[in-house]
Chain A
């Protein structure tokens, strides 16, 4: 049995929607961030897979994934810095506690 492109896409789709589910339901901001990481990772997989199966001669998706990894790392760093800052100020990173920010 061949491993075709759909198999990979199924995996990434499930990963993606797991992330979405987590993003909706978690109350901890770090957990939400982890969900975001899941989603990002799913897209990375997709890029790599598309590149590999549909356009193997070129490296577009490959490099896109590469840069995406770099950028998501940076995003994580910033997000965590913000959270630590929030935690310092309100002593919590639960979403309900920082709803005051909207006012």
Chain B
């Protein structure tokens, strides 16, 4: 029964994400595009929840949906002028992009479908990983512990803050 519920939830989420993704890139207005992106990101977070990765999902919501999209909206508002409405792309270019993307998607889907994945056994029940556990893994230095990337990302973020300030500041 649970599996069936999950299946339904997954189907709804998948449809939602696919439709929103396509809308994101096809809509003419940039603000709408950002909004659709927000929905996609939220849907993705839903997928994470479905997989049992609740922390990842919440990070997704907080960082992406909460941070990045807000940033987008602000910058859209800052930069939007006459170019708010996207210009009509040349038909041939649109067509080429469409064909290539569809062909690529078909190719990759073909590979995905024909490839025989070997799932690990006992994956029916999502294993919830505690935040406590995740925190320890994040700052541990043993095997499967990630202090080095953690620190690297910390410094990277700092550098980004400084860089963004430097680039965007008024002269």
Contact = CB atoms under 8 A, between A and B. Distances in A.
Taking each of B21, B22, B40, B44, which has the highest tally of chain A beta carbons within 10 Å of its own beta carbon? B21
Nearest to B50: A3
A83 B7 CA distance: 42
B76 A18 contact: no
Interface residues of B, number: 83
Contact of B157 (A20, A48, A55, A70): A70
Nearest to A33: B72
A36 to B, nearest CB: 11
A18 B4 CA distance: 29
Contact of A77 (B4, B6, B10, B160): B160
Contact of B72 (A4, A34, A63): A34
A24 B64 CA distance: 23
B25 A35 contact: yes
Interface residues of A, number: 74
Given A30-B79, A31-B30, A63-B137, A15 B146 contact: no
A57 B143 CA distance: 13
A20 B40 CA distance: 15
A67 B21 contact: no
A27 B89 contact: yes
Interface in A59-97: 59-60, 62-63, 65-67, 69-78, 80-85, 87-88, 91-94
Contacts of B47: 8, 11, 45, 48
Contact of B21 (A5, A19, A60, A94): A19
Given A34-B72, A48-B53, A69-B59, A59 B129 contact: yes
B168 A85 contact: yes
5 contacts: A15-B18, A24-B101, A27-B87, A73-B64, A81-B168
Interface of B: 3-4, 6-7, 10, 14, 17-18, 21-22, 24-25, 30, 33-34, 37, 40-41, 44, 47-48, 50-53, 56, 59-60, 63-64, 67-68, 71-72, 75-76, 78-79, 81, 83, 86-87, 89, 93-94, 96-98, 100-102, 104-105, 108-109, 112-113, 117-120, 122-123, 126-127, 129, 134, 137-138, 144, 146, 149, 153, 156-157, 160-161, 163-165, 167-168, 170
Given A17-B102, A18-B24, A71-B156, 12 more contacts: A3-B3, A10-B109, A15-B17, A18-B25, A24-B101, A25-B25, A27-B86, A27-B87, A33-B72, A34-B33, A34-B34, A59-B137
